[in-house]
Structure 1
């Protein structure tokens, strides 16, 4: 199965207030193994970045001035994710921004280009109710090294999310492996029996005669002995 782990960084929290995407990262995994293929791009948002957002990701407008517009990267981005299963932490946030950007280009929603979408934040809340389930907390819980994550960055976060997801679903994988392993399949056991120790008793003449009469009586009555 082809899966894409996706993350974005933005100028702020609300696409309906005019905030834009400034970074997209998508990391590919096939059959639970990294393929080393990824899509990563910074984007010029053509607007200011909220100070609070910049404190989170550390990306400045000056850095983005010479970067492409979303319209210039949209086709390559869609081509990279097309047909895959998307896995996103807090999917409504990223989908809200991506679909807003696609709408500006009169493009279909992201959901129409992929085979499905999994929200790992929703998964984590079901697995760990009442606990912190942001990416840092999940990395600590599953023993994943996130020491390089001093700021939010789409590429690093997508890579960490892939490791978190594999850890979150490892029990399911182990169960499937156990069910299909030769050690757990039902086997037939053959027992060796020594028949030489069994005593065989033959019928005597009187018993044979009685048996013959019984068979004859069944035949006369129209019954069958078998």
Structure 2
């Protein structure tokens, strides 16, 4: 399955009042693996950024003045994202700008080019209701370092969102390891070398003090839900046999 994690930077907040896209960043996932086949483009919006937006992305009119216009990169961009499922954080914002850019060229909406759109902000709100669910907050929640993110950047934000998405949907599957190409897998004659056995797993039982502290926590949970929490139910369920 091919997925594209996408982010944009813009001159302001509203394409209906003439704001434009100034940067597109995309990260490709195939079967939940980062491929390195990314797409990144700065764009000349033919206008200045609003002061608030400039403070966020730092891309000045001077810097963007020699970059290609959207019309010049539209075909290449469409070819890159064609047929993929697209992952965006707060999708309506980016989709509104992409649709506006294609409309200026007399072309169909962005959604017509892709297999579907996943909004990670919607997913995060369902998973963590009442919590902060910005990209920075999700990075903190999943232990993803964003210390190098002093300003917003479309490619950097897409790379961070790709890690967040993998964390949200499959725990630690973002740390995919492929042993198929390791040279150490065969000997000099091409025969397979068996992997070394795993080290013995040591189990440490909780002591009485730790068990008592755990019971206090479970009892407090019972009081909060005015019933019996699932862990107490598991403990109270008689073992089969």
* TM-score, scaled to structure 2: 0.71
Q: Check whether the contact 2:87–2:118 (CA below 8 A) recurs between aligned residues.
A: yes
What's the counterpart of residue 26 of structure 1? 26
Distance (whole Å) between structure 1 residues aligned to residue 97 and residue 7 of structure 2: 11
Q: For residues 121-152 of structure 1, what are the alpha-carbon distances to aligned partners after superposition, in whole Å with 9 as ceiling and x for unaligned?
A: 00000001111100000000000011111110
What's the CA shift for 1:171? 4.8
1:41 counterpart SS class:
strand
**Structure 1 or 2: more helix by fraction:** 1
Distance (whole Å) between structure 1 residues aligned to residue 38 and residue 121 of structure 2: 22
1:46 counterpart SS class:
coil
What's the counterpart of residue 63 of structure 1? 63
What's the counterpart of residue 127 of structure 1? 127
- Root-mean-square deviation (Å): 1.1
Query: 1:7-86 counterparts in 2 under 5 A?
Result: 7-86=7-86
Give unmatched runs, 5+ long, in structure 2.
174-241
Distance (whole Å) between structure 1 residues aligned to residue 10 and residue 171 of structure 2: 34
* TM-score, scaled to structure 1: 0.75
Distance (whole Å) between structure 1 residues aligned to residue 172 and residue 156 of structure 2: 25
What's the CA shift for 1:170? 1.0
Distance (whole Å) between structure 2 residues aligned to residue 25 and residue 82 of structure 1: 15
Q: Check whether the contact 2:2–2:84 (CA below 8 A) recurs between aligned residues.
A: yes
2:36 counterpart SS class:
strand
Distance (whole Å) between structure 2 residues aligned to residue 145 and residue 17 of structure 1: 36
Q: Check whether the contact 2:3–2:28 (CA below 8 A) recurs between aligned residues.
A: yes
1:169 counterpart SS class:
helix
What's the counterpart of residue 146 of structure 1? 146
What's the counterpart of residue 199 of structure 1? none
Distance (whole Å) between structure 1 residues aligned to residue 104 and residue 96 of structure 2: 13
Distance (whole Å) between structure 2 residues aligned to residue 125 and residue 64 of structure 1: 35
Q: Note closer, same or farther for the CA distance 1:142–1:171 as it changes in structure 2 (3 Å cut).
A: closer
1:37 counterpart SS class:
coil
What's the counterpart of residue 163 of structure 1? 163
What's the counterpart of residue 182 of structure 1? none
Q: Check whether the contact 2:166–2:172 (CA below 8 A) recurs between aligned residues.
A: no
Distance (whole Å) between structure 2 residues aligned to residue 38 and residue 84 of structure 1: 13
Give unmatched runs, 5+ long, in structure 1.
174-226
Which of structures 1 and 2 has the bigger CA Rg? 1
